[in-house]
C-alpha cells in the first residue's frame, strides 16, 4: 500500500481550496463583467441605422415616424382660412393676398364673402410653413400684415385670423 505523505496531502488540500475559491468567485466576476459591459454600452448610446429626423431626432424611439405619418395625413385635408380686415384697406379691386411658400410669399388673391370677410380654400399642406396676409395698394406697393407670418393652429376645418394694420 502506498503511504500518503503529509506534503502530498497538503498539496491536494491546497489545490482543492484554490479550485473551490475560483468556483465561488466566478459568478461574482461574471456579474461585475456584465455590469461593466452594460455601462460601456450605455455611454456609447444606441446604434441608429436611419438618419434622425425632426426635433429630438435619434432620441425619440420611433415617435418621429408616427408624427410624419400623421402630418402627411393632415396635409391632404381641406382648410378654409377666414380673415377679418380691421384695417379696412382691401376692396374688391385691391383684395387681400395670401402669401405662402408655394407662391414664393408674393400672394394669391383672397375671395370676399357677402359679409365683407375674406376667405381662402385649399389644402392644409400648402400652409405648413406658415402664411402671410398681404395687400397691394394702387401704386403696386406690397404691404405686409403687421402681425407677421402666422402658423396654422388646426389641421382641417376653419381658422379665423384678424388683420389690424399693414406695413410697407
Q: What is the pLDDT of residues 38-76, one digit of tens each?
A: 998 888 877 656 666 666 665 555 666 666 666 666 556
Quote the pLDDT of residue 72. Answer: 62
Helices (H), 49-162: 63-75
Quote the pLDDT of residue 147. Answer: 85
Residue 27 reports pLDDT greater than 90 = yes
Task: Note if the pTM is more than 0.85.
Answer: no
Helices (H), the chain: 6-44, 63-75
Measure the CA–CA gap between 111 and 160, rounded to whole angstroms: 14
| pLDDT tier, 23 (very low <50, low <70, confident <90, very high otherwise) | very high
Instruction: Name, in order, each residue with C-beta under 8 angstroms of 116's C-beta and a sequence gap of 6 or more.
Output: 85
Amino acid at each position: 500500500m502506498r503511504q500518503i505523505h503529509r506534503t502530498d496531502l497538503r498539496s491536494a488540500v491546497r489545490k482543492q481550496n484554490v479550485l473551490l475559491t475560483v468556483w465561488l468567485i466566478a459568478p461574482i466576476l461574471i456579474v461585475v463583467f456584465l455590469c461593466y459591459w452594460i455601462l460601456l454600452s450605455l455611454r456609447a448610446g444606441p446604434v441608429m441605422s436611419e438618419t434622425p429626423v425632426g426635433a429630438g431626432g435619434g432620441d425619440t424611439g420611433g415617435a418621429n415616424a408616427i408624427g410624419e405619418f400623421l402630418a402627411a395625413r393632415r396635409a391632404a385635408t381641406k382648410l378654409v382660412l377666414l380673415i377679418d380686415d380691421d384695417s379696412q384697406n382691401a376692396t374688391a379691386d385691391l383684395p387681400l393676398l395670401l402669401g405662402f411658400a408655394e407662391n414664393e410669399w408674393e400672394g394669391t388673391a383672397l375671395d370676399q364673402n357677402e359679409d365683407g370677410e375674406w376667405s381662402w380654400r385649399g389644402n392644409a399642406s400648402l400652409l405648413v410653413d406658415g402664411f402671410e396676409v398681404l395687400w397691394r395698394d394702387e401704386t403696386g406697393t406690397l404691404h405686409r400684415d403687421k402681425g407677421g407670418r402666422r402658423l396654422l393652429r388646426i389641421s382641417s376645418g376653419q381658422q379665423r385670423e384678424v388683420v389690424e394694420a399693414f406695413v410697407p
